[in-house]
Amino acid sequence: MPVLIAIVGLIMGSAVTALVHRVPRAGGMSWVRGRSACPSCGHVLGPRDLVPVLSWLLARGRCRHCGAAVSFRYPLTEVLCAAWALLLWWKVGPINAYPLLALWGFVLIALLWIDYDHQLLPDVLTLPGTLIGIAASLMIPGGAWNAIWGMTLGAGVLWLLAWGYWAVRKVEGMGGGDIKLAAMFGAVLGWQLTLLTLLLAALAGTLWGGVLVVRRKGDGMTALPFGTLLAPAAMVAFVWGDVWINAYLRLLGR
């Protein structure tokens, strides 16, 4: 079963790379129709070019038709999706909600890269992702209340931060896409793991910003794609968050 799950994850990772490339360009190309093609030469890719990870390795990271470099991100995304599928199986096992939770994670990985490239979290992914998260939660005992509190807390905290930043500095400090993304992961995580997700993303953002300042490639006003931090933080919180929270409560003697 783990081998089958890994294979399905790799295949879904290939689909996620197509989403990442097509969704921000939806005005000029369909993200649900049409065959994959090389971004450099436009050559339509055949089955030999579309085997997850293996095609990239055999072609040594280049297009077989024009020789243009193919980003390492493609196999990396496929491996990330396979890893998510396996970690999710390890975490929850063969429950009815597994397919929806797996799809929820795949959408998060797509949003991670899109926000990194375009500083954009498209509604066409966050809104269906939220519905997927709600549907998955409804299949788990007590999940309805977890979804309500998680969505309210996640979206509410980021909305308040965005409002406060605007009130103080009169500039946008956080986009609406981040708020919708918080509702998406809050629907699955509940309020405790949603708080942990926000904390992890904030810490990662602090480290990222600090590195930019040290390397003189940014300052305190440099905008970071927060969705790129929130999405993986939500997945990490889902897999390991309960363990960390319980360990923290034990330290407090509770």
Range of the domain at 122: 98-254
Same domain, 79 and 103: no
Instruction: Give the pLDDT confidence score for residue 29 in this predicted structure.
Output: 56
Q: What is the pTM of this model?
A: 0.90
Domain stop point among 45, 62, 94: 94
Using only C-alpha atoms, the chain has a radius of gyration, in whole angstroms, of 19
Same domain, 16 and 68: yes
Instruction: Give the pLDDT confidence score for residue 148 in this predicted structure.
Output: 93
Same domain, 110 and 69: no
Q: What's phi and psi for 173, nearest 5 deg?
A: -100, -15
Domain stop point among 51, 66, 94: 94
Same domain, 150 and 64: no
**Residues paired with residue 69 on neighbouring β-strands, in sequence order:** 62
> Residue 68 and residue 124: Cα distance in Å, rounded?
30
Total count of domains within the chain: 2
Same domain, 172 and 118: yes
Same domain, 62 and 104: no
Same domain, 65 and 144: no
Same domain, 102 and 79: no
Same domain, 72 and 195: no
Instruction: Give the pLDDT confidence score for residue 230 in this predicted structure.
Output: 95
Domain stop point among 34, 68, 94: 94
Task: Confirm if 79 and 12 have CB atoms less than 8 A apart.
Answer: no
Tell me the pLDDT of the chain (254 aa) as tens digits.
999 999 999 999 999 998 898 888 755 555 566 677 777 676 777 777 778 888 888 888 787 778 788 888 889 999 999 999 999 999 999 999 999 999 999 999 999 999 999 999 999 999 999 999 999 999 988 888 989 999 999 898 888 888 886 777 666 666 788 999 999 999 999 999 999 999 999 999 989 888 888 887 777 677 788 899 999 999 999 999 999 988 888 888 76
- Which residues have C-beta within 8 Å of that of residue 67, sequence separation ≥ 6? none
Same domain, 70 and 122: no
